[in-house]
Structure 1
Amino acid sequence: MSTIDESREFLPVRIAVLTVSDSRTSADDRSGDTLVARIEAAGHQLAAREIVQDDRATIAARLRDWCADPAIDVVISTGGTGLTGRDVTVEAHRDVYEKEIDAFSTVFTIVSMKKIGTSAVQSRACGGVAMGTYLFALPGSPGACKDAWDEILSLQLDYRHRPCNFVEIFPRLDEHRRRK
């Protein structure tokens, strides 16, 4: 069973938040605000925050830039994971991923099913790793961001979480690059 091991020290993670939208601004980015509030309340550091248009190349470029930044450990995007023509965030993420975290989509769907039933099939939330950085693409609704953070990411980004978590394998994410 999953637990928090209080004997381990909490290690803050540096997280960037990317909102993908053709219509949102910093004044009405409720999903981004939801993530930032939860990130900071958990004791993590907001490393960067930006809003970009629904454009695959623009999204992928921002993800690559942030993955190359040693001050960023994790990137969480919100928006553009649906089924419409402008929903290209998942494709942009996959353009960047070195490895996809397949189970993230599955677990997110399970969490969503409890909240919104079969409507969960319309989300293409995904996760992956690139250049030693974790990347997660979440839907654009504040509720979906809340659910993903509260039930998955807050635990996996907490070094104290047992039996395992994403933080403890940070040092090994790019080990394949060091072996030449």
Structure 2
Amino acid sequence: MTTRDFMPCRIAVLTASDTRAPDDDRSGDTLVERLEAAGHALATRAILPDERELIAGKLREWCDNPDIDVVLTTGGTGLTGRDVTVEAHRDVYEKEIDAFGTMFTMISMKKIGTSAVQSRACAGVARGTYLFALPGSPSACRDAWDEILVHQFDYRHKPCNFVEIMPRLEEHLRRK
């Protein structure tokens, strides 16, 4: 039986908020603590206001950066007028990972009941980079990381994981 070695990912964290600053970004801190504890590297981190064009622009910039494999955003996934992170993500996605939102909702239901319906957590792929839009609460970030992402970003996780297909995300761009 062969075992796989852990392969660390380079993960960027973006907080979408009109009110958060580096000293009180608890959700961003939660994600950084968890990804580093799992053995991954923090590639970069930023906080942007809830502006669709700014968020989409940063996502595109980070997708074009070969030193970033994954982008985790927190905040802006709700239903209010300022919640535009999901729209910004969808402006960038080439493919959506529909099951992520479903799985996140299932996990949330166990903890917050029917209030889980108010989250629009989503995920996708663009330019060979994974993108995840998580709610702005530390609890939701913990749930997404601990229940889904820590496993999918572990090359040793079977039967399959996001890391093992990373090299193939842009195979459509190769010449035949």
| TM-score bracket, shorter-length normalisation | over 0.9
Tell me which residue corresponds to 2:135. 139
Paired with 1:68 and 1:179, the residues of 2 have a C-alpha distance of 20
Deviations 1:88-115 (A, max 9, x none): 0000000000000000000000010111
Paired with 1:63 and 1:29, the residues of 2 have a C-alpha distance of 19
Deviations 1:137-163 (A, max 9, x none): 000000000000000000000000000
Paired with 2:29 and 2:136, the residues of 1 have a C-alpha distance of 11
Instruction: Number of aligned residue pairs: give it.
Output: 176
Tell me which residue corresponds to 2:31. 35
Q: TM-score, normalised by structure 2?
A: 0.98
Q: Which amino acid aligns with 2:149?
A: L
Tell me which residue corresponds to 1:53. 49
Paired with 1:164 and 1:69, the residues of 2 have a C-alpha distance of 26
Paired with 1:84 and 1:128, the residues of 2 have a C-alpha distance of 22
Tell me which residue corresponds to 1:10. 6
Deviations 1:64-123 (A, max 9, x none): 000000000000000000000000000000000000000000000001011111100000
Q: Which amino acid aligns with 2:144?
A: A
Answer yes or no: is 1:92 the counterpart of 2:62.
no
**8 Å contact kept, 1:6–1:160:** no
| Superposition map of 1:99-110 within 5 A | 99-110=95-106
Moved over 4 A (4+): none
| Residue 6 (structure 1) shift | 8.7
Tell me which residue corresponds to 2:145. 149
Paired with 2:14 and 2:93, the residues of 1 have a C-alpha distance of 16
SS of corresponding position for 1:85: coil
Answer yes or no: is 1:112 the counterpart of 2:112.
no
Paired with 1:147 and 1:48, the residues of 2 have a C-alpha distance of 22
SS of corresponding position for 1:27: helix
SS of corresponding position for 2:154: coil
Paired with 2:110 and 2:153, the residues of 1 have a C-alpha distance of 22
* 6 and 47 in structure 1: CA distance in 2 versus 1, 3 angstrom threshold: farther
| Residue 179 (structure 1) shift | 3.4
1:81 to 77, 81, 84: 77
| Residue 25 (structure 1) shift | 0.2
1:171 to 151, 167, 171: 167
| Residue 178 (structure 1) shift | 1.4
RMSD: 1.2
